[in-house]
Structure 1
Amino acid sequence: MGFEADDEILQDFLVEAGEILEQLSAQLVELESRPDDKELLNTIFRGFHTVKGGAGFLQLSALVDCCHVAENVFDTLRNGLRTVDADLMDCVLSTLDVVNDMFTAVSAGEALLAADSSLLARLHFYAQAMPASASERNAGDRVRAVIEPTAAGEDITDTEFERLLDAIAPVSSNTDIGPGVGSDLGAASDDISADEFEALLDQLHGKGKIGAPKDDTDPEAAPSTAPGDDISDDEFEALLDQLHGKGQFTKVDSPAPTPALAEQTPRPRPVEPVTSTPASPDKAKRPVEPVPPTAPTDQRPPKGPAKNSGSQQESTVRVDTQRLDDILNMVGELVLVRNRLVRLGAELDDETLQKAVGNLNVVTADLQASVMKTRMQPIKKVFGRFPRVVRDLARTLKKEVNLELVGEDTDLDKNLVDALADPLVHLVRNSVDHGVETPDIRAANGKPRMGRIVLAAQQEGDHILLTIMDDGGGMDPNTLRELAVTRKVMDRDAADRLSDKECFNLIFSPGFSTKEVISDVSGRGVGMDVVKTKIGQLNGTIDIESQLNIGTTISIKVPLTLAIMPTLMVVIEHQAFALPLASVSEIFHLDLTKTNVVDGQEVVVVRSKPIPLYYLKRWLIKDMAFDHQKMVAGHVVVVTVGSQNIGFVVDQLVGQEEVVIKPLGQMLQGTPGMAGATITGDGRIALILDIPSLLQAHTGQGR
């Protein structure tokens, strides 16, 4: 950074530019499917322009240069001088990656590295109008061949300028430059006359716009023109920039604009290219004019809707997330006090106290909901990256895939938004790689050549349901059974007993992959087990439905927030424990003398389906000798872990209670099966169980 910028200004730039760059990724992919959308082109143009303006104020020169050339590309596109194609989009998306890398470096306070010169050269090429004929394309090649060897920052020599005129002579001969000029430019001549130079300027700027009749007595003298008709230094620089590439002929020692005026400095508009069929008469004959300064425009009094937008901005305050976390912690303490008072109010037969506690309960619930909303973010912050992911991967795999996003405005806790990003990226990539077939295979199966992936989010009570659906080839449960046996995940008898749903869940086994060939995209069996573990850590569940040649749907269910959790309170040997309510499927009282033993595991049959039984007292109370055979009755809490139901035997059921999760102390951190602690309504400390981790620690099958 060129100077010590005010930290507040820098933070404002990081917030605003970060939001714009997130949107640009999705907008660019959308543009590829709607290349003629003028409003979308204007939006992308404004996005790069805004980032460039903020970077210019902070003297981030490398970022300014990159955004400026990208801005020129979209100025050319929105003026209809070039059309969108896949190669152009590859170049622009690569540029966005570079801009994002620079933005990350600015956020980390690191020095910026200039963009690769070959990338900028490609951008300069796409910023020029598309040649309308083969002769003009050949002329463009000749021009680039002349100017590319010139070192950056050097002035053009007389010899190079002569070669430049010779290179564009064939194009000039086909256009209306002036009497006799078209043929003379192509002739072997050592000098260019004043008439020829004027004719060239007329072609580039419009006839009669630059020069007036000249005095032919001194060809080397500056032409005599009417006031205001001389070509300025800026206009001549713009001409050279258009023909040679921006910055090639700018003197190294030219003064840089001051920080405060960086964005107000007039920039010359790119000179209209030489074409035999201009886009419009007005554009072809328009003189080069400096862009008006932006500051006066920004300082005008707002009119109409602008006033509303101004007042709306003033009513918005940016708050550090740490401050929100502190407020949420205090609300959590208030919730614990509320729970305690509710319990006391129920125990004491005092109507006045009960009314006061009831009012406190209502106010606390409203405050808790309001504070939770301040931490909520739309899940589109995660969804916004997927159009680019799908587009790039589909091009790599030579597939045609259309991604549909549903429910982008669904709100989710900020921590969950961040935590879900990686699992969702992996699942979407799997849908493109494993799910959607190649266009030829789809056509042979009677499907549209373009595959379809739907990524959706919706709120269900206090949970969020995320679904990833594709219309690909689906999964064959018999194939999965064979793979499980071949890769020694299980024996033949166990595989044959698996239901179709249990077969689908085999893909979450470590090292299990349906790919026969390992590639840089997939095939190593690493990833889906990590996804399942991550979702489990979020107290969520994941489920798979698939039909062969129809498609696959993966459903993920996670709580709205991780800070305050609804739980089922149970008691084991006078010690309270909390089970996440999201994992609890049912509760019943059991006569423990009517259980069965299958393969050495005690089970209970519920609706004709065996459920394994585990005694939490044996796992959690270590200082006592426990013989479960002496128990004749107990409460069974059935929990769901992945696709499997498991029964936990407990001594006593307390009931449902919202708890605030508190981290364990340093000595207890990392204890298997423990997610944290809380204070119950009666003032006792209760440990919150991490069910998958608990099963993994004691049976080896939780994850």
Structure 2
Amino acid sequence: MDMNQYLEVFIEESKEHLQSCNEQLLELEKNPEDITIVNEIFRSAHTLKGMSATMGYEDLANLTHKMENVLDAIRNHKIKVNPEILDVVFLAVDDLEAMVQSIADGGDGKRDVSAVVEKLLLIEKGESPIQASAKSEVAAAVEVQTTATKSKYDEFEFTVLQQSKEQGFEAYEVSVSLREDCLLKAARVFMVFEILEKIGEVIKANPPVEQLEEEQFDQEFTVTIVSKESREDIQKKVMKVSEVDRVDVTNLSLEDLRHSENEDVEKMVSNDHVVTETIEIDKDKDNEQGEKKSATSTKHSSSKTIRVNIERLDILMNLFEELVIDRGRLEQISRDLNNQELHETVERMSRVTGDLQNIILNMRMVPIETVFNRFPRMVRQLARDLNKKINLEIVGAETELDRTVIDEIGDPLVHLIRNALDHGVETPEIRKANGKNEEGTVILTAYHSGNHVFIEIEDDGAGINREKVLAKALSKGIVTEQAAATMTDKQVYELILASGFSTADKISDVSGRGVGLDVVKSTIESLGGSISIDSKLGHGSIFSIQLPLTLSIISVMLTEIHQEKFAIPLSSIIETAIVKRQDILNAHNQRVIDFRGKVVPLLFLNEIFEVPGIVEEDEFYSVVIVRKGDKMAGLVVDSFIGQQEVVLKSLGNYLTNVFAISGATILGDGQVALIVDCNALIN
């Protein structure tokens, strides 16, 4: 029976069960006496074990079985839950996730899990898992000697090694161990391969080269080579690579190879699996109401949901974008011809395509919990590493975002949460001395407002020290003393988003190097969003992110400058205005206007974008007032054309660094209009 047809479903469902295990284990940590939680984890593990065995992934099934035995002992009151036991079960889930990911990447799902299995067996016997560490250390020396026997060879590799030996070459397995503090593991791997390729021919790597390049390994890897050099020479040459801790070179005999080949001749077959990402679509989704369903209801109503390859949705979206461009063209032709029947047909087409647009965008919407789900486990581990007590609260996880935005927002949120844990929340001793609860709270909130999604990370920690931030900014030359004197609190807080800025007294593994928050800011702004910070010293901080619901189809105000058309996103516009020439003032070599009691700088787009044409002194100027956070600017254009929905298209690889232009669109008359990046202009 060919199992390949079920592989995609197996991977998706395995990830769901493991995510459920992670969530329930965190709940169990808070309520160790609640057996119903243990039963939930047991059910997920039991299902995963059955699925793995059916698909032929025995290593996955065996580890799940060992974990299942521990859970069974807990629910039958033979073992009492404690942090030591939960740590081991979490480690087992980590290994299971790595094995499933290996299968998703086209691998065989195999992994050395002997250490965690040993701990699980000890727990099952009622012993402390800490005892396993001592036993593992004793076994380490033997492990070094037997590393070579772990690599398995397929039929082709076996033939190559056999023929090489017949031609006078020696076959070696070179096991390399990098230092624990090695920062650039992929670079060291490259240097090792460079040396080995000079002295022989590389036959195989374990883990595979792709995983080594992406640093998807701990500290050790094994390379099989054929060479005429001696073991000692190979060892000496590889040891010259900096940050290499140990090198073991083992001769491979034909008997070893035959044993390996007989044991596993089909290993490479699994690499042919092409695993594509899928997304669940709910057939009952109401496109008019935009009604949201929780992940649990979607999961259980399997008869009403289907799994669709995300690539198909991308193709559908691209086709619809072309339809939107043609719709604009038809509307233009209809206006030019002024034919009533054509008017009516085009209006009906516009309504239908509008409904179709809502359906397609809703299909691409994914609950933000797909990103949020990873954070409780991360917070638990970080809190332990930092010796802090922290409770993470998640609000609005069902809030939906376009999948393209979801893909990009994960890393910025990781940086912000790590920052809140390290810099925000104080240690229990300091919190107690300040009259606070020993346990700090971090609240992660998501909600919709208009055409935007807001994500907030709030902590009840120490807050941001205005004077400390200013002093650091002045010392680094980020601001001048003159500018610092006039800055509001919010403007000062946002200085921490500057590149290389850090107020940490000491650098830790978590943060303090001055990298991270500037990346957060640039990533969010590249998505057409913004980030703002509010804080109260001694009471905590709030980082607020504003993001567009979708990135591909946007509403814009079309404007004209010297017969060139520019589109300004409506999400950035406050209002449009007509300004008299005598109302324009000069301040610090900058033309400004008084807009509702605020001084707003004027930016003449014909000058910024160097639009060719004769500049005439007009009595009145057309101005678009745009905003980014607390900052505003007035964009001066020749005339307003009107509001329109357009398809945002990239400028391509040749025009990646065009200032203040985020993309382009094709209008109804076939002309290309550039889309203005208001965030870049205001900066």
TM-score, structure 2 normalization: 0.72
Q: Structure 1 unaligned segments of length 5 or more: list them.
A: 132-136, 153-251, 260-307, 696-700
Q: CA deviation at 1:348?
A: 6.0
In the alignment, the residues of structure 2 paired with residue 396 and residue 366 of structure 1 have an alpha-carbon distance, to the nearest angstrom, of 50
What letter matches 2:94 in structure 1?
D
1:663 maps to 650
Q: Is the 8 A contact 1:375 1:414 kept in 2?
A: yes
Name 2:364's counterpart in structure 1: 375
Q: Give the CA deviation at 1:72.
A: 1.6
CA distance in structure 1 between the partners assigned to 2:518 and 2:469 by the alignment: 16
Q: Which deviates more, 414-423 or 120-129?
A: 120-129
1:289-311 C-alpha deviation (Å, 9 max, x unpaired): xxxxxxxxxxxxxxxxxxx9999
Deviation at 1:324, TM superposition (A): 0.7
For the pair shown, the structure with the greater C-alpha radius of gyration is: 1
Against the structure 1 CA distance between its residues 148 and 476, is the aligned structure 2 distance closer, same or farther, given a 3 Å change threshold? closer
Deviation at 1:673, TM superposition (A): 3.0
Secondary structure, aligned partner of 1:91: helix
Write out per-residue CA displacement over residues 32-89 of structure 1, whole angstroms, 9 at most, x where no aligned residue. Answer: 1122222221121222222222222233233223222222221122222222222222
Q: Which moved more, 1:528-537 or 1:113-122?
A: 113-122
Which runs of structure 2 are paired with 1:450-599 in the superposition (5 Å)? Answer: 450-599=439-588
| Structure 2 SS opposite 1:516 | coil
- The one of 35, 47, 70 aligned to 1:38: 35
Which is worse superposed, 77-86 or 678-687?
678-687
Render the CA deviation track for 1:620-652: whole Å, top value 9, x for unaligned: 23545x768x45432222222354222221111
Aligned residue in 2 for 1:190: none
1:110 alignment partner in structure 2: 107
CA spacing shift, 1:311–1:528, aligned 2, 3 Å: closer
In structure 1, C-alpha distance between the alignment counterparts of 2:627 and 2:4, rounded to whole Å: 49
Write the distance in 1 (CA, Å) between the matches of 2:411 and 2:423: 18
- Greater Cα offset, 341-350 or 518-527: 341-350
Q: Is the 8 A contact 1:81 1:130 kept in 2?
A: no
Distance between the aligned counterparts of 2:45 and 2:541, measured in 1? Answer: 38
Q: 2:237 matched to which residue of 1?
A: none
1:451, 1:309 → 2: CA distance?
33
Which residue of the partner structure matches residue 78 of structure 2? Answer: 81
The reply to whether residue 676 of structure 1 matches residue 676 of structure 2 is: no
Matched, 1:687 2:674: yes
Distance 2:652 2:432 in 1: 59
2:18 to 13, 18, 21: 21
Query: 1:48 is matched with which residue?
Result: 45
Deviation at 1:398, TM superposition (A): 0.9
Q: Are the structure 2 counterparts of residues 529 and 666 from structure 1 closer, same or farther at C-alpha, using a change threshold of 3 Å?
A: closer
- Judged with a 3 Å threshold, the aligned counterparts in structure 2 of structure 1 residues 636 and 622 are, in CA distance, closer, same or farther, namely closer
Q: Measure, in 1, the Cα distance between the counterparts of 2:403 and 2:300.
A: 27
Corresponding position of 2:96: 99
Note if 1:406 corresponds to 2:395: yes
Give the secondary-structure state (helix, strand or coil) at the position aligned to 2:446. strand
What's the secondary structure of 1:513's corresponding residue? coil
1:66–1:115 contact (8 Å) kept in structure 2: no
2: distance between equivalents of 1:631 and 1:620?
A: 19
Task: Spell out, residue by residue over 1:139-182, the C-alpha distance to the aligned partner (whole angstroms, 9 max, x if none).
Answer: x99xx99x999x99xxxxxxxxxxxxxxxxxxxxxxxxxxxxxx
Cα drift, residue 659 of structure 1: 1.0
Q: Does structure 1 conserve the Cα–Cα contact (< 8 Å) formed by 2:63 and 2:92?
A: yes
Specify the SS of the correspondent of 2:305: coil
- Whether the aligned pair in 1 keeps the contact of 2:562 and 2:611 (CA below 8 Å) is no
2:169 is matched with none
Number of the residue aligned with 2:593: 604
Aligned in 2, Cα 1:5/1:474: closer, same or farther, shift over 3 Å?
farther
State the SS of the aligned residue for 2:632.
Answer: strand
Q: Distance in 2 between matches of 1:404 and 1:367?
A: 37
Asked if the contact 1:540–1:582 (Cα under 8 Å) also holds between the matched residues in 2, the reply is no
Contact map agreement 2:418 2:511 (CA 8 A) in 1: no
Amino acid across the alignment from 2:427: T
Tell me, in whole angstroms, the C-alpha distance in 2 between the residues paired with 1:627 and 1:43.
Answer: 72
SS of the residue corresponding to residue 82 of structure 1 reads coil
Shift in CA distance, 353/627, structure 1 to aligned 2, threshold 3 Å: closer
* Structure 2 match to 1:316: 305
- Cα distance, 1:482–1:120 mapped onto 2, change above 3 Å: same
User: How do 1:85-164 residues align onto structure 2 when only pairs under 5 Å count?
Assistant: 85-129=82-126
Q: Amino acid of the residue matched to residue 526 of structure 1?
A: V
> Any conservation in 1 of the 2:390–2:440 contact (CA below 8 Å)?
yes
Instruction: Name the structure where strand makes up a greater proportion of residues.
Output: 2
CA distance in structure 2 between the aligned counterparts of 1:389 and 1:309, rounded to whole angstroms: 26
CA separation of 1:522 and 1:643: change in aligned 2, threshold 3 A: farther
545 and 669 in structure 1: CA distance in 2 versus 1, 3 angstrom threshold: closer
Aligned match of 1:192: none
1:356 to 1:627, Cα distance in 2 relative to 1, 3 A: closer
In 1: Cα distance, 2:420 partner to 2:299 partner: 44
Identify the range of structure 1 (684-693 vs 14-23) with the bigger mean alpha-carbon deviation. Answer: 684-693
Q: What is the distance in 2 between the residues matched to 1:348 and 1:26?
A: 62
**Residue deviations 1:484-534, cap 9 Å, x none?**
112221121211110111111111111111211111111111111111111
Give the letter aligned to residue 47 of structure 2: T
- The range that moved more, 383-392 or 7-16, is 7-16
1:589 to 1:345, Cα distance in 2 relative to 1, 3 A? same
Amino acid in the other structure paired with 2:447 = Q
- Show the counterpart of 2:289: none
The equivalent residue for 2:620 is 633
Change in CA separation of 1:543 and 1:579 when aligned onto 2, cut-off 3 Å? same
Indicate the SS of the match to 1:319: strand
Counterpart residue identity of residue 52, structure 2: A
Deviation of 1:9 after TM superposition, in Å, equals 1.5
Q: 1:584 and 1:127, CA in 2 relative to 1: closer, same or farther beyond 3 A? A: farther
Check conservation: 1:484, 1:495, Cα contact below 8 A: no
Q: Is the 8 A contact 1:452 1:471 kept in 2?
A: yes
C-alpha distance in 2 between matches for 1:400 and 1:360: 58
1:195-274 to 2 correspondences below 5 Å: none
Corresponding residue of 1:614 = 603
Q: For 2:405, what is the secondary structure of its paired residue? A: helix
The DSSP-based 3-state class of the residue aligned with 2:591 is strand
Specify the alignment match of 1:327 in structure 2.
316
CA distance in 1, matches of 2:18, 2:630: 39
Query: How far off is 1:665 after superposition?
Result: 4.4
Task: Give me the identity figure in percent.
Answer: 37
1:448 is matched with which residue? 437
One-letter amino acid of the structure 2 residue matched with residue 386 of structure 1 = F
Matching residue of 2:635: 648
TM-superposed CA distance for 1:666, in Å, is 4.7
Q: CA RMSD in A?
A: 3.4
